[in-house]
Structure 1
Amino acid sequence: MKSLVVYHSKNSGAAKSILFLKKRNAFSFQKISKETTIFNFFRLILLFIRALFIKNIILNGIAVIANPNIQKVLKVLPNKKIILYWHEGEYHWNQTLKYFKIKTSDIADFIASAHNICDSQRVKEWLSHAFLPNRQPDVLYECIDVSCTIGFHSKSTTNLDHINVLAVGNLCTRKGFDDFLKIAEQSSNKINFKWAGKNVEYDLKRKDRVKEINENWGYNKVEVLGFSNHPSKLYSECDVFFLPSIDEPFGIVYLEALLYGKFVIASPNSGFSELLKNKPNLGYVYTDLVDLVSFIDNRLLEKISQNDYRKERHLFAKSHGVDNFHENLTRLIAKYENATPL
């Protein structure tokens, strides 16, 4: 049975995985943005018409789940299986409430009456505590396009005298840019740091901080690259991937880096960190910055110089490809179709 996926924007991180399913016949898609515009009004009408003929409706991401206009449409559509796919946690939830000018109580019953899927255990724990104390949501991890393997080499090309550490993400407080600079400042002169992503919060203070670190070391130890249309090239050229996010519901970029055989250093505040448990050859989850500095000084070289580990990382990432994601989502939908009403 076909399912209708409602998403906010193709440029949203929340839509990245599920939009891979556009090529699959079992799903159709409807974009509904947050803005109140004439164009979006007609999208809502189209959503209503399309939803009349489809039983399963997947609301993908918090910008769709909390949209009051979408909820108004769904209220007049009886006998629908509403599935909420969460890619965000408390931080994004509070930001979304402010944007739509609604309260948690306005939407709590809607969430409790739907089937809920989370993209990590981290998100599941937050959602269960906030809305579903007596019912556990399902977990469906994000996926990547595993066909994009240009640049993967099973043998290491690392020059241990010049190690390149890469971060990919919006340059902002939440993604951990300040901690990124702290680690860069304390690491040896063999290790260079590059940040690629939109310069969302790259203010004068942070620019001066980068300049100060580079002047103290006598070379460009830290480079801010800005947004890149070709992250695959950056992944293939780096030696280590490191994103010290303060709040990361999942972190699909870690998977993308692993696809290129790169060792990843994951924030303990990321949903992805739970996938690295008992997998020391794939990456490292630090407890705090002191622990991370010690790891970089004493153990990092060993991890990035072993060729066998590169293949293991690549295969792990491939196991989180679109085909497995599609299969797991289809299985969950079938379970909800056969479930008794909530």
Structure 2
Amino acid sequence: MGLGAPKKTVIFNFFKNFYPGKKKVRNTLKVLMLGWELPPFFAGGVGMVCYHLTRALCQQGVDIIYVMPFGPRMIRSDYMRILIADHLFPRMRFRLKEIDSLLGAYETPESYDEEFRKYLASLSPRERAKALYGPNVFQEAYLFARKVRLIAMQEDFDIIHAHDHWTFPAAIEAKKATGKPLVIHVHITEFDKTGGMSVNQRVYEIERAGMHAADLIIVVSNFIKQRLINSYGVPPDKIRVVHNAAEAMNTNVYHDASKIKETDKIVLFIGRITLQKGPDYFVEAAKKVLEKDPNVKFIMAGTGDMLPRIIERVAELGIADKFIFPGFVTREEVAKLNKIADVFVMPSVSEPFGIVPLEAMWQETPAIISKQSGVSEVLNHVLKVDFWDVNDIANKILAVLHYRNLHDQLKHHGLLEVRSMTWEEPARKCIEIYKEVLRRK
């Protein structure tokens, strides 16, 4: 190779020797999909959505390359290619040290800073000086963008599909490098995470940049569509609504709650204990329920920054003996808790969609959900409340607990409803969106 050869040729020579992707002739629709997580390496609902959506897309003939910034070295899929950016670069002979990422899908700049401080404290002075991760989550997102740009320049695909705002810088770089159209998938916004309070301006700017760089935007509800129009200045004709579906749950689960059930009914909350999820409204409603019926136990499963405050408030109200805080629960434990609950409550302040009530309904547990949620747009056999109306929440809890006919109707029809919500339909809509954006090009 002569001295005048372009640098890109040098990069591609490295790729050809050490990168597993090879271009080939094909006839199927091929998608470069970017995400922070995928089961079993995931932090929350977005990971499960990505899993079910990608599987349904592949079943309908779409070829997917799924790129994550980090993950287990042995992660595999039987239906799509998974590329872990952090693992690829040593093979490409770049001077990058491979270490576990500190970033999770629901990481905030503040929590990332705390994890980064712990990470630095574990290093020797020399290692600390050479640490490759930036001092905050934003620098890590932009590091991922640099890697994805190089991956995109080599891979063969038709369209870019990016989940989660932390992938938006990478998606923009991939679009710039290849000229391929970009679809972003908005599952949640900074306004929803914070309840509209203390919005992080830098996060907002990343979100907005991705939205305005995209050719089309998929949102999980009309609730989020209005958010994008009102708060991010996105034209309505650029947004397509694709509601999530329900994951088929294992109903053959057992949890021995006989000691509790001998005397008490069970009201269940599952979710992150954060402002967005409305745990404080759940507690205030519980107090009102107990004033009418003391034979009720409340289970609040999950962790989050509000948990200490919630525990303190429960003690202040004198109802600590009526609350159980099991902390973080696994998928199997979620199914067991839903199985024993008499009613599930989701009092979210701002919920873009909301998978958890669907999981409860799969276990034949009646659900009470916030009207300020995307899932309320598609569910009929549930009771709906405004998150702030603790009197209404309490009254509806008592109604489900005390009126057997109402309980049985919600239980039976709710199960039938959730069984009909399969992932084939969201996948079909995504394919139509892909085709629409490709026609524009």
TM-score class, shorter-chain normalisation, is 0.7 to 0.9
Which residue is 1:149 aligned to?
251
- Between the two proteins, the alignment pairs up a number of residues equal to 321
Q: CA deviation at 1:176?
A: 1.0
Q: CA deviation at 1:17?
A: 0.9
Which residue is 1:120 aligned to?
221
Decide whether aligned partners of structure 1 residues 304 and 119 sit closer, same or farther in structure 2, where only a CA change above 3 A counts.
farther
Q: CA deviation at 1:286?
A: 1.4
* 1:5-154 correspondence to structure 2 within 5 Å: 5-9=33-37, 10-23=42-55, 24=58, 26=62, 27-32=64-69, 36=139, 40=144, 43-45=147-149, 47-49=151-153, 52-65=155-168, 67=169, 69-78=170-179, 80-89=180-189, 91-92=191-192, 98-99=201-202, 102=205, 106=209, 109-111=212-214, 114-129=215-230, 130-135=232-237, 137-151=239-253
Decide whether aligned partners of structure 1 residues 261 and 269 sit closer, same or farther in structure 2, where only a CA change above 3 A counts.
same
SS at match of 1:242: strand
Find the aligned partners of 1:121 and 1:303 in 2 and give their Cα distance: 34
The residue type equivalent to 1:327 in the other structure is R
The residue type equivalent to 1:84 in the other structure is I
SS at match of 2:67: strand
Taking structure 2 as the reference length, the TM-score comes to 0.64
Which whole-Å deviations, capped at 9, do the CAs of 1:181-235 have from their partners, x for residues lacking one?
10111112132211111243222x432222344xx35x72111110011211111
Q: CA deviation at 1:241?
A: 0.7
* 1:248-267 correspondence to structure 2 within 5 Å: 248-267=351-370
Please point out which of 429, 437, 441 is paired with 1:328.
429
Q: CA deviation at 1:96?
A: 8.1
Runs of 4+ in 1 over 4 A off after TM superposition: 92-97, 103-108, 158-161, 303-306
The residue type equivalent to 1:2 in the other structure is K
The residue type equivalent to 1:3 in the other structure is V
Identity of aligned residues (%): 20
Which residue is 2:295 aligned to?
190
Unaligned runs of 5+ in 1: 153-157
Please point out which of 259, 270, 281 is paired with 1:179.
281
Which residue is 1:286 aligned to?
385
Indicate if the aligned counterparts of 1:15 and 1:61 stay in contact, CA closer than 8 A. no
Which whole-Å deviations, capped at 9, do the CAs of 1:128-160 have from their partners, x for residues lacking one?
3333335152111123321533349xxxxx969
Q: CA deviation at 1:161?
A: 5.9
The residue type equivalent to 1:295 in the other structure is K
Which residue is 2:372 aligned to?
269
Taking structure 1 as the reference length, the TM-score comes to 0.81
The residue type equivalent to 2:358 in the other structure is L
Indicate if the aligned counterparts of 2:273 and 2:302 stay in contact, CA closer than 8 A. yes
Tell me, yes or no, if structure 1 residue 296 matches structure 2 residue 389: no
* Higher RCO by CA contacts (8 Å cutoff, separation 6 or greater): 1
Indicate if the aligned counterparts of 2:192 and 2:350 stay in contact, CA closer than 8 A. no
Q: CA deviation at 1:295?
A: 2.7
Which residue is 1:3 aligned to?
31
The residue type equivalent to 1:175 in the other structure is K
Structure with higher Rg: it is 2
Find the aligned partners of 2:145 and 2:375 in 1 and give their Cα distance: 37
Indicate if the aligned counterparts of 1:184 and 1:222 stay in contact, CA closer than 8 A. no
SS at match of 1:295: helix
Higher helix share: 2
Decide whether aligned partners of structure 1 residues 103 and 149 sit closer, same or farther in structure 2, where only a CA change above 3 A counts.
closer
Indicate if the aligned counterparts of 1:250 and 1:271 stay in contact, CA closer than 8 A. yes
Q: CA deviation at 1:59?
A: 0.8
Which residue is 1:155 aligned to?
none
Indicate if the aligned counterparts of 1:240 and 1:263 stay in contact, CA closer than 8 A. yes
Find the aligned partners of 1:31 and 1:184 in 2 and give their Cα distance: 41
Find the aligned partners of 1:161 and 1:254 in 2 and give their Cα distance: 25
Decide whether aligned partners of structure 1 residues 120 and 77 sit closer, same or farther in structure 2, where only a CA change above 3 A counts.
same
Which residue is 2:10 aligned to?
none
Which whole-Å deviations, capped at 9, do the CAs of 1:38-69 have from their partners, x for residues lacking one?
9847742553245x41011111122223x3x4
Tell me, yes or no, if structure 1 residue 209 matches structure 2 residue 209: no
SS at match of 1:207: helix
Please point out which of 320, 323, 327 is paired with 1:226.
327
Indicate if the aligned counterparts of 2:358 and 2:418 stay in contact, CA closer than 8 A. yes
Unaligned runs of 5+ in 2: 1-28, 70-102, 104-136, 255-259
